[in-house]
């Protein structure tokens, strides 16, 4: 079965630093998402991306966050100035249609010190 | 606002016995409902979905779920549990009448199947 791949699997950074989390969605998918899961808490929606633009974002996705699809394969999440509370597992997902099932990557565990 | 409740943090069942993982939801319109499973160090994997039609939906690995509109529930079931079913299970909902594609997840239920 095709997979969504995420790199790195673990990222440790200092507070205030910029991080970029990378994802390669499934090749024929058109909808892309970032979710995150703080340890012991729910999986939370961050942002959805379609047709080269953000289609929806949550309250969590403030000006410190941005997403980009720099080429035909990668989908990145950038956090400009990390905060302690950004520590979480970040999941990338993709789908071929907006209402259909999502395929998730294995996640990037971000630790902000 | 959309929400999902999974009232049990953990469900314990003996191998071979039936299992149920509970989920209730709240949406303003009609729901799309999903179950996902998460194994250690893995992403969430799709198990099954309800969009419309038959209230009993069948999914991967022998799992099924029953949509109950009057009780706003979508419980996950399996007639005979396997040790390998032990994992974290998430229920999720999307409002069908909403233009949003985001899924709202429950807090997850850990299933432990003992040999």
Residue A42 to residue B106, Cβ atoms within 8 A: yes
- Inform me whether the C-beta atom of residue B96 falls under 8 Å from chain A C-beta atoms: yes
User: B85 phi and psi, to 5 degrees?
Assistant: -75, -10
Point out the residue among B46, B49, B105 whose CB comes nearest to the CB of A43: B105
B contacts of A10 (beta carbons < 8 Å): none
A contacts of B36 (beta carbons < 8 Å): 104
Which one, of B73, B110, B71, lies nearest residue B90 by Cα? B110
pLDDT exceeds cutoff 80 at A56? yes
- pLDDT band for position A99 (50/70/90)? low
Q: Which residues contact B24 (CB under 8 A, 6 or more apart)?
A: B4, B5, B7, B71, B72, B73, B74
- The nearest CA of chain B is from the CA of A41 a distance in Å of 6
* Beta pairing, strands A65-68 & A10-13: unpaired
User: A84 phi and psi, to 5 degrees?
Assistant: -55, -40
Interatomic CA distance for residues A95 and A75, integer angstroms: 13
Lowest mean pLDDT among B14-23, B84-93, B94-103: B94-103
Q: pLDDT, tens digit, for every residue of B19-63?
A: 999 999 998 888 899 999 998 878 889 999 998 888 999 999 999
Interatomic CA distance for residues A102 and B45, integer angstroms: 8
- Angle at the Cα of B68 from the Cα atoms of A97 and B66, rounded to 5 degrees: 70
Rg (CA), chain B: 14
- Inform me whether the C-beta atom of residue B49 falls under 8 Å from chain A C-beta atoms: yes
Tell how far CA A86 is from the center of its chain.
Answer: 12
pLDDT exceeds cutoff 90 at A12? yes
Rg (CA), chain A: 13
B contacts of A55 (beta carbons < 8 Å): 101
How high is the mean pLDDT of chain A? 92
Predicted pLDDT at B112: 97
Structure tokens belonging to residue B21: 């993982």
How high is the mean pLDDT of chain B? 92
Interatomic CA distance for residues A111 and A14, integer angstroms: 8
Q: What is the pLDDT averaged over residues B103-108?
A: 92
Q: What is the pLDDT averaged over residues B67-77?
A: 96
Interatomic CA distance for residues A71 and B63, integer angstroms: 38
A contacts of B42 (beta carbons < 8 Å): 106
């Amino acid at each position: 079965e095709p997979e969504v791949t995420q790199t790195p699997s673990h990222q440790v950074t200092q507070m205030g630093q910029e991080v970029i989390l990378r994802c390669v969605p499934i090749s024929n998918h058109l909808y892309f998402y970032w979710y995150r899961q703080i340890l012991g808490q729910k999986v939370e929606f961050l942002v959805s991306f379609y047709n080269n633009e953000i289609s929806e974002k949550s309250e969590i996705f403030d000006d410190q966050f941005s997403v980009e699809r720099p080429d035909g394969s990668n989908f990145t999440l950038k956090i400009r100035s990390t905060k302690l509370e950004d520590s979480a597992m970040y999941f990338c997902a993709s789908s071929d249609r907006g209402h259909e099932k999502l395929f998730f990557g294995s996640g990037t565990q971000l630790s902000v010190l | 606002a959309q929400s999902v409740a999974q009232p049990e943090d953990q469900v314990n069942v003996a191998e071979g016995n039936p299992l149920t993982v509970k989920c209730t939801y709240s949406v303003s319109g009609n729901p799309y409902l999903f179950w996902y499973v998460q194994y250690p160090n893995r992403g969430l994997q799709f198990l099954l979905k309800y969009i419309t039609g038959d209230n009993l939906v069948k999914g991967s690995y022998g799992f099924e779920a029953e949509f109950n509109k009057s009780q706003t529930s979508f419980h996950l079931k399996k007639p005979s549990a396997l040790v390998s079913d032990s994992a974290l299970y998430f229920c999720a909902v999307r409002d069908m009448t909403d233009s949003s594609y985001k899924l709202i997840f429950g807090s997850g239920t850990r299933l432990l199947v003992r040999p």
